[in-house]
Amino acid sequence: MRPLDRISSIKLKLGLLIVGAVVVTLAVNEVGLRWNVKPVTRAGVAALIALAMVQVLARGMTSPLREMAAAAGAMAKGEHGRRVTASSRDEVGELARAFNAMAAELEEVDRLRRDLVANVSHELRTPISALQAVLENVVDGVEPAAPETLSAMLKQVERLGRLVTQLLDLSRLESGSIPLQMEDFELQGVLEDAAQECRLHAPHVQLAVSVDPPGLAAHGDPERVHQVIANLLENAVRHSPSGGGVQLSARRERDQVVIAVADEGPGIAEADAGRVFERFYRADAARASSSGGAGLGLSIVRWIVDLHGGQVRPERREPHGCRMVVVLPGGAP
C-alpha cells in the first residue's frame, strides 16, 4: 500500500505524516471530551491510532529500501535479475530507478563475461585440439614429421598467438593502459605500410591505395592508426574472393580525415551492421572460424577510433561488398 507515491518529495511526505498524526490526536481528543473519556485513555487511543496510521504510510515509503536491501543481497550471490518497485516519485523512487538501472547494467556485464569466457574457451580449444591431434599422430608414428605437417602445426600456433595478442590489446584498450602518442602525421606512409604487410599474407587479392591529396595528414597515434588499417584490411581480404580487389583510400572532409576500406565480399547484412563491433561477433560464423578470424579485430578498431575521438561505421557497397569508413581528426595541412 503506497498512497503517498504521487508526492514528489520525501520531506513533504514526512510533513504530511506529522500533520496527520497531530490531526488524529486532536480528533480523538475532541471525541473523548464529548464522551467524557479520561485523559489517559484519550491519549492512549490517540497514540495507538496515530502510530497505526504512521506505520501504514511509512511502510509504503520505505518498502523500496527494504526491497533494495534484499535485492542487493541476492545480487551478491549472483542473482542479477532482481529488480525493485520504482513507482514513487520522490527521492526514494529515484534511488530505486537508479538501482534498477545499475542492476540491468550488472546483468549485462555478467552476460558479457560469461560469453567472453565461453568464446575464449572455444577459440583456444579449436587450435589446441588440432595441435594435439597432429602431435599425437607424429609421436605414435602414424604420420611423419614432414614439412607439410609442421606447416599445419605452425598455422595453428600462429592462430593462438593472434588470439592472445588481440585479447591483450583489447584488455589494455578497455582499461586505458595504452597511452596514445598523439601527433600530426602523413597518412600516405601509414597506409602504404599496412597495405604492403597485407599483400604479403594475401597475394590472391588486388590491393590499391589512394590518398587525396598526397600529403594528407591526420592527428593521432600513427602506430595505433596503422593497427586500425591493418585490422580492416585483414578483415576485407578474408571476405574477398580470389582475384577480387580491395581499395584503401583516404581523403579530407572539412577538418576531418575519412579513411575507407572497400572490398568485393558478400557485404554485411543490415541486421548485423550494429553488432559487427562486438567482441567475438561474426556475421558469417562458419567462414570466419574456418579462416582463422576470432571476431576481435573490429572490436579493437572501434576502441582505438573511439580513443581518438573519431567514428567508424560499415557501409554497403554496390553492387556487392562492404566499405568500412573511419573518421579521424585531421592534422595540420
Q: What does the DSSP assignment read for 217-274?
A: EEEE-HHHHHHHHHHHHHHHHHSSPTT-EEEEEEEEETTEEEEEEE--S----HHHHT
Mean pLDDT over residues 69-88, rounded? 83
Name residue, grid cell 575521438. 309
Distance CA 146, CA 118 (A): 34
CB-CB contact of 261 with 246 (8 Å): yes
Contact in structure between 257 and 282 (CB atoms under 8 Å):
no
Q: Is the pLDDT of residue 190 over 90?
A: yes
**What share of the chain has pLDDT > 70, as a percent?**
89
Is the pLDDT at 233 greater than 80, yes or no? Answer: yes
Is 288's pLDDT higher than 70? no
283: nearest Cα among 324, 248, 325: 324
Q: Is 1's pLDDT higher than 60? A: no
Cell numbers for 34: 464529548
pLDDT at 294: 58
pTM equals 0.61
The angle, 0 to 180 degrees and rounded to 10, between the axes of the packed helices 39-76 and 91-139 is: 20
178: which residues sit within 8 A by CB, 6+ positions away?
A: 169, 172, 224
Output the CATH code of domain 116-175: 1.10.287.130
Give domain limits for the chain: 10-104, 116-175, 183-329
Is 3.30.565.10 the CATH number for 183-329? yes
Cα gap 32→40, rounded to integer Å: 10
Q: Return the closest-CA partner of residue 279 out of 105, 107, 156, 112.
A: 112
Provide mean pLDDT across the span 242-257: 90
* C-alpha to C-alpha distances, 302 to 4, 170, 225, 277, 326, nearest whole angstrom: 47, 10, 11, 7, 9
Q: Measuring CA to CA, which residue among 259, 273, 275 is closest to residue 316?
A: 273
pLDDT at 242: 81
pLDDT band at 221 (very low <50, low <70, confident <90, very high): very high
What's the pLDDT at 287?
A: 46
**Does the pLDDT at position 281 exceed 70?**
no
- The confidence score (pLDDT) of residue 136 equals 87
Report the distance separating Cα 265 and Cα 302, nearest Å. Answer: 21
Q: What is the pLDDT of residue 290?
A: 47
